[in-house]
Amino acid sequence: MSVAVHTEGLSKSFKDHVAVADVTLDVNAGEVYGIIGPNGAGKTTFIRMLCGLFTPTAGRGTVLGFDIADERERIRERVGYMSQGFGLYGDLSVDDNLRFYADLYGVRDPAYIASIRTRLGLDEVGRHVVASLATGVRQRSALAAVLVHRPELVVLDEPTSGVDPVARETMWQIVRDLADDGVTALVTTHVMPEAQRCDRLALFADSRLLASGRPDELIERSATSIMAVEAAPWAEAFSRLHATWPSAALYGTRVHIPVGVDASIEPEIRRVLHGLEVRSITVQSPTMEDAFISLIEAPASTVVSR
């Protein structure tokens, strides 16, 4: 399996703050690789370095075998970057935008451009002005513009922000199809539940790489699980449980308590809820967000896997 992206100790500092600190990771060709983390964690700066838009202040990296500091032009020819906010001209039509980007890259194959349009379901909206389209359609148009020059790697920065579930599912299908065709996809997002759609992920927090690996691995590594308690009356149950476990959270009428994976607190729960009707206590696997929080709050050992 070849490596599409490789970085070693990659860092970027600006005058007044450090945006990316010491990131070492690998992305395999044909993977859907997620770069996950809250806003301001350094995700966008990191991928801009990969695309050659920023010069690293320390460390090195290669994309598709080319050095990100010295061989940017070669990288830009082969990489498609879909930026947050989608990068299209709002007052031009979809077709005009596609033609513009094709021209920029010197692509003169109208049949291919048409096929991209069809593949992304944009045939009906070709003549529509981009600004008048719904967010999901606009996002697909932006992706089409990126695919026009047949990149080997696509970088999608928050491609599903603000989009309805149908459009979100559509986008992820397209990304998966691309990966199946051999195009590597780097996707950044701050929406944790989406992370589980990726083959592997890197968790970014505070400009650092917190952890990387497969989603299930990361959840396992966080060593947490959730006790889901359903009891009546729920308000009273919540208030008692919250008093004992301050991290207890209300989910509808159920209470979720994050615990260490080996902890067995069921007897204690029952004791705290004595006198109330306890309907069920089940163990659930944590969400990516729960895992993320526990990894962030874990003592400073950042475990990295390939």
Partner 1 sequence: MAAPVIQARGLVKSFSGVRSLDEVDVEVAEGELCGVVGADGAGKTTLLRCIAGLYRSDSGDVRPGRARRDLVGFCPQGFHMYADLSVDENVEFFGSVYGLDPSTLRRRRDEMLDFTGLAAHRSRLAGELSGGMKQKLTLACSVLHRPPILLLDEPTTGVDPISRRDFWQLIEVLHTSGTTILMATAYFDEVERCQRLVFLHDGRVLASGTLDDLVASGADLETTFRERILEHDRARGRVEVS
Binding site for partner 1 (CB under 8 A): 38-41, 121-124, 134-136, 162-170, 173, 190-193, 205, 235, 238-239, 242, 247, 249-253, 287, 289, 292-293, 296-297
**Least distance (Å) between residue 22 CB and partner 1:** 20
- DSSP H or E stretch at residue 148: none
Indicate the residue among 124 and 216 with the shorter CB distance to partner 1: 124
Supply the minimum distance, in Å, between the C-beta of residue 247 and partner 1: 8
Is the separation of the CB atoms in 97 and 116 below 8 Å? no
User: Measured from the CB atom, is 6 or 176 closer to partner 1?
Assistant: 176
Cα angle 1, 172, 213 (rounded to 5 degrees) comes to 45
Q: Which one-letter DSSP state was computed for residue 296?
A: H
- Minimum CB separation of residue 112 from partner 1 in Å reads 19
* DSSP E strand stretches across the chain: 3-13, 18-28, 32-36, 58-63, 66-67, 79-82, 153-157, 184-189, 200-205, 208-213, 224-232, 249-251, 254-260, 277-284
Q: Closest separation between CB of residue 169 and partner 1, Å?
A: 6
Query: Cβ closer to partner 1: 154 or 291?
Result: 291
Query: CB 248 → partner 1: shortest distance, Å?
Result: 9
What phi and psi, each to the nearest 5 degrees, are found at residue 28?
Answer: -85, 150
- In the complex with partner 1, which residue's Cβ is closer, 153 or 195? 195
Which residue lies nearer to partner 1 by CB, 185 or 203? Answer: 203
